[in-house]
Structure 1
Amino acid sequence: MQSIVVYCGSNHGTQPIYSEVARELGRTMAERNIRLIYGGGGFGLMGVVADTVLEHGGEVIGVIPNFLAELEVAHQTLTEIHFVETMHERKFKMVTLSKGVIALPGGYGTLDELFEILAWRQLKLYDGPVAIINTNGYYDLMLQQLDVMVREGFLKPQNRELLIVANTVEEALAKMGTQTI
């Protein structure tokens, strides 16, 4: 797998473990020559992942809407940055550059991106693996909700299985089919 989109928060969260896992993901991606594709911001977990990939000699491609770049939230030292007009263009561009998706903890934006790519997988508009790293049980309640959706007949079991659930970076990458160097 040559490139992975990472969705995650523009904040650090309240627990240091979230930044620790973001650093571990960034380091591991760089060590395995997996290019990071992400939203182009320099703050929060997004900045941690990007900075760590760069610190370890990896490549980072950011995709950011012009309105966010004008607010000076764009990361300034990426390998490559793409400027787009809308959030939808951003999401589309990121996944066209990637072979898989990983979500770390985040807020509305992270969940929006995660559920949109899962809907695209369900509709066969995207065929890469989609994983979450469930650090500190962050996604436990969301996973319970997905099970309710299956039980109540709103989500087919085979579509529920489109989401890879992992508790560690290594588990996520292994389940996604990456290889250790």
Structure 2
Amino acid sequence: MEVVSLATYVGGSNILGIIPRALTTPNITGLTVRREIQVSTMHERISKMLEKSDAFIALPGDYGTLEEIFQLVSWSQLNIHRKPIGLLNVNKFFDGLLSFLDHVVEQNFISHLVRQIFVSASTADELIDKLQHFVHAPDPVMA
């Protein structure tokens, strides 16, 4: 997060950090966050991110990254939001996850339509283009 925050800051963009109070030490949030919203829980963080964001991009990460993107995709499937969710598949980081999701479709646990909630690309430019053209298609089972 710090490297992305620093690159964004150096590029002249504003950064909004939404972070649980338990993680607000400067070595985690960094000095480049110009505006910070502190929340009590991770659930509140996701809700605030939904309120403040137009789209979501997941970079290669750990369990926390996976938890957040799966919560967002679940909420999209339930029509709680219609915002695009992108996976920046740097060096094929998400290939295993994407293959697993294809397997889940093959096993009929999610539809092909629901599988399309995740948008992925190997470059930032390609991913942003895909996110800009994303059209949310409600899951007919959940509609």
1:133 to 82, 88, 100: 88
Q: How many residues align?
A: 133
Residue 56 of structure 1 and its aligned partner are, at CA, apart by: 1.3
Q: Does 1:99 align with 2:79?
A: no
- Given residue 105 of structure 1, which amino acid in structure 2 is its aligned partner? P
Q: Quote the RMSD (CA, aligned, Å).
A: 1.4
Q: Does 1:174 align with 2:129?
A: yes
Counterpart mapping for 1:82-161 below 5 A: 82-161=37-116
Moved more, 67-76 or 105-114: 67-76
In 2: Cα distance, 1:95 partner to 1:74 partner:
20
Q: Would you say the 8 A contact 2:85–2:117 is kept in 1?
A: yes
- How far 1:92 sits from its partner (Å)? 1.2
Cα distance in 1 for partners of 2:4, 2:95 equals: 23
- The TM-score, its normalising length taken from structure 2, stands at 0.88
Indicate whether 1:56 and 2:11 are aligned: yes
Q: Which runs of 5+ in 1 are unaligned?
A: 1-45
Q: 1:71 to 1:56 in 2, by over 3 A?
A: closer
SS in structure 2 of the partner of residue 73 of structure 1: helix
Identity, in percent, stands at 35
Specify the code of the residue in structure 2 equivalent to 1:173.
Answer: I
Deviation at 1:72, TM superposition (A): 5.0
TM-score (norm 1): 0.70
Kindly state the Cα deviation for residue 94 of structure 1 after the two structures are TM-superposed.
1.3
Per-residue deviation, 1:73: 2.1
